[in-house]
Structures are given as C-alpha cells and as structure tokens.
Amino acid sequence: MNFGSNVDNPIIVLTGTVALGSPPYTLRVVDRDATGFSFMVEEWESQTRFGSVTVNWVAVAAGTHTLSDGRVVEAGTMLADHESGSVNFAAQFETAPVVLTSVMSSLDQNAVDSSPLSITTTGFDARLQQKEALQGPRAKELIGYIAFSVGGTVQTKTNVTHNSTSVSFGDSFTQSVVVADTQTLVEADTQSLMLRSQSSTGASIFVAEEQSNDSETFRTFGERVGVAAFEAGALQGNRTGDANLVTTAELAAAEQAAQSLSTQVIGEAGSKTISVSSFNINNPIRVNYTGPIENAVVSLTGSDALGVRYSLRVVSSDANGFSFIVENWTNQFGFSLSNVNVQWVAIEAGVHELADGRIIEAGHVQATETTGSATFAAGFTAPPVVITTTMSQNNATPVDSDPLNITANGFDVRLDTANSYNATSRPAETVGYIAMSRGGSADTGVATSFNVFGTSFYSWAPPTGFTDMIAVADTQTQNSADKVDVKWKTFSSSRQFGLQTSTTSFPGSETIGVLAFSRGVIVGNSTN
C-alpha cells in the first residue's frame, strides 16, 4: 500500500471483512517505510478455503498527536508474546482510550493475532494469540499500537460476541475507513475482531474464533471492542511528542530469542509397501529418511494380511534411515505377504516439546520375556501412550514387544514369543519406545487409546486435517494369556485396529494405543 504523502515511521493497524460463512483470518504488516507498507493475509493453518476480502487500514506517524478536534492520538511499538507485553502511554488521556494493534514483524511464521487488554488512562497490556492447536511457547513479535481518545467517530461497544453487532459512526463518510480491535480477553479461545460489512454510516462487527482445536465458535461472554472510523485520506493533526518505541537492540534480542524457540525436525512419519515370502523373509528392507535423524527410535505397525500372522523387527538404524525384517510369527507353512503396508514413525531419542505444548519422549530399554522397565525423563502429568518395537536381533526367533503398567513416571515392557516357540529361551533385546502425551490434532500429531475385545477390529475416526495420515499402534495392557500384536486396516474414513494372536485362540480385552501424524517430518523443540 502506498501513502498519499510521506508518513515518518508509520504505525499501521488493519481490520478486514469476512463474508457470512467464510473463514476468519489475521493480518500482519511485513514491511513499512515513509512511503507505504506491505501486509499479508494469514489463514489459520486449519483452513481449506479462502476468498477475496476488503482490508481497512490506518497509518499514524510514531509519536503523540492532537487532532483538529482536540482528541489525543498516540502511536508506538512494543514487544509482546502469549503471556507478556505492556506499554505506558506518553500521552495524557483523560479516559481510557481505544487501543488498536497489529503485528508488524515475522519473528515466528505461525499465524498470529495481537490483542490489547487491561487498558487504562496510563497504559495497557497486549498478548499474542495463535491457533489453539499451537498453544506452546512462541516468539515475541513487534506490535504496533494506535491509541485514540474516545469521542466523535471513535467509540467502544460492549458485549460483542460471535453474532454481528451494529455500530453507527455518528457521521456519514463518502468512503469510510473503519478499524477495530477487542479491548478485553474475556474468553481464552483464539479470536480476531472482524467486519461483517461496512457502509458510509456504520459497520457490523463480530468476534471470530479459529477452529484448529474444535469446531465450536460460540462466544458465551461478550468482549468490549474499540472502533475508529474516518474518511479515506490524510489524517490531520499536530505532533506533540514521542511515544514508546522498541529499540533496534531490543528487536535484535527478540529475533535472537525467536531463533532459539524455532521448531526443529525431531522425526519423520512414513510407510513402506512390501511383499514377502518364505524365500526372502529374512532379507532386510531399507527405509530412508528425507533428512537425517540422529539416534532415531523407530516404531512399526503393519496392515492386516487376511489372517497371515507376522511380526516386524528393526535390525539396523543410522542417521539416514533404518532396515527392518518381517518375521513368520507362528512358523506358518507357505508364509507369504502381498502388498502389506508398514507404517513407521521415527523420533530422535530424547525428550521433545510439540508445538501444542505436549511432550514426546523416545528411548531404548533392554527387555526379556519377564523383565524390562523404563523411567521417563519427561515430566508427563498423566500416563502417555507408549508404542514399542524390537530394535535388535540377539535371537532369531520371531519376537514382539509390548508395554504394560504405564504410568506418568514410566512403564514395564516384555518380549512376546509366539506360543509355538515357548520352549525357546531367549536373551534380552533392545526395545525402542515412543511415549507421547495424550490428545493433539492433525497439526501436531494425535495420541489416543481405546479398548478392543477379541479379534474384532475397532474403527477409529481420526480428527480432520491430516495430510496422508500415518499411524502406529501397540497394546497398552497384557490381559490375554495368548501373545497378541496389533494390525491395522482402513474402512471408509476410519482407521481400524485389531489384535492379531499367535494362535487361533480368542483373546480377551486389551487397550490399544495409537500415535498418528501426517506423512513427512515431525517438528518440535528438544528439551534435553
């Protein structure tokens, strides 16, 4: 956008329109100088559609000013994140002004909205809001603010909810420009203040929630909203002093802090379709990552093979990938698998924080058929979902590993050898485990569990938003006398999981845990 005349050190605020039935969005200023500015329209990442919009903007030179009608205006900058940010006004306001804000930096690339709150005559606080599925730590951003004395075409409206609220300007404009912002944060759900429509004499405003965490957008309690309307063109007034401005050194420090918070690749999710017979069953199958993963822990889950019983074992692993073998779980005659899809998740060993604040821990533990336990290094507040896979071959007898007795502090693990091999004595094996806090979304991954009984498959409907979902699963209990493994298959829009026994017996009730991610890299912050 180009100004009609130069504006020194411009502070810009923006407000956009949203048609009924269209998704909300946010606005971010990405560049500015005395001649104009550039901004971007940011979709909340969970959205799948977007149309044309109208964006209103006001730019005021940094400092304090008095308009021709005597009202006071202050424009400045501040740093804020999701839990801190405050400003003391340089101007003398007789009553609490209307404060409008906009994000004016890109220190964190995730879509964000800035919201003022706790506004008084002497200052205000501001907070960043990102989509609810990403409620972990985020970088501070440079926030531009413009504070207007209330009066004339600057006003507040109370009890503004998800329903449209009409605002009368008290004046008529040839070409109206209206900017608005919430002045409170009564409800915690991430929101942005949007325009439903505008005319020469008024506008319709509402509070729009994003829907990454749930589809509900109902606002039980209304927010106070500040609205400022003007005739398109130049604002006239006299500069009276300086306002709060973030220094170059402060912004550089924020940029450095943002880099330390930036997410990194901690793993990857993918699949491998295989066909195996008794002639090549012991041949390792190689999987390569798209990028290096140091000291990766790998979990594998294969698709249902119409009753053919098999197990999976990782036999080697390096930074570039891993190799696994298919094992004839019950020494079946004429063993053969055709087009079996093996889903895999690889996570760098250690403790990591996902973008939504949940924890994922990956590690190794030694286990036998009667011994094996791990203590979590992560501070889980509740029992996580734990998925295990055998990652060594100290004995050639087919094997499966199973977690049990899972608590927030750790779990036990046992090796399972099919009943037909029970007379075989076997040494300890290295078992890789991935433990993940329950909950989540398609953006950050999902950890869940459910009960199954017998050989029936349980249909799990994953949340929407996955890009080619990859899911690994494991039993979380050992209630059955028979040795069981978990296999998967698809049914309509659901993913089904069931118990595969090592004999023809009918297993009892078991709990199955599932970890699901979109295909590709998995990102987070390593905490150890």
| CA gap 366, 372 in Å, rounded | 6
Mean pLDDT of the chain: 90
What three-state secondary structure class fits 63? strand
- Looking at residue 135, its pLDDT comes to 55
Residues in a beta bridge with 465: none
pLDDT tens digits for range 271-294? 999 999 888 888 999 999 988 899
- Of 210, 95, 214, 221, the closest CA to residue 148 belongs to 95
The average pLDDT across 423-427 equals: 73
444 close to 133: Cβ distance less than 8 angstroms = yes
43 close to 50: Cβ distance less than 8 angstroms = yes
The average pLDDT across 328-347 equals: 85
Q: How far is C-alpha 312 from the geometric centre of its chain's CA atoms?
A: 31
> Which residue's structure tokens are 């606080």?
125
Banded pLDDT at 214 (limits 50, 70, 90): low
List, in order, residues 6 or more apart from 65 with CB less than 8 Å away.
72, 73, 74, 75, 237, 238, 239, 240
Sign of the Cα torsion 453, 446, 188, 82 reads positive
Measuring CA to CA, how many Å separate 181 from each of 44, 79, 135, 511, 528?
Answer: 18, 18, 21, 48, 40
What three-state secondary structure class fits 393? coil
The average pLDDT across 226-232 equals: 96
Banded pLDDT at 527 (limits 50, 70, 90): confident
- Looking at residue 110, its pLDDT comes to 82
Residue 352 predicted with pLDDT over 80? yes
Strands 359-367 and 373-375: unpaired
pLDDT tens digits for range 457-485? 899 999 998 989 999 999 999 887 677 88
Residue 168 predicted with pLDDT over 60? yes
- Of 72, 79, 38, the closest CA to residue 55 belongs to 38
Domain residue spans in the chain?
A: 10-261, 264-526
- Looking at residue 425, its pLDDT comes to 72
- Of 117, 113, 110, the closest CA to residue 139 belongs to 110
| CA gap 121, 149 in Å, rounded | 10
- Of 493, 472, 518, 449, the closest CA to residue 302 belongs to 472
Banded pLDDT at 335 (limits 50, 70, 90): confident
| CA gap 183, 89 in Å, rounded | 16
Q: What angle do CA 252, 81, 179 make, to 5 degrees?
A: 100
Banded pLDDT at 505 (limits 50, 70, 90): low
| CA gap 327, 401 in Å, rounded | 13
- Looking at residue 493, its pLDDT comes to 75
Measuring CA to CA, how many Å separate 105 from each of 146, 222, 248, 255, 486?
Answer: 16, 29, 13, 10, 48
- Termini Cα distance of the chain: 45
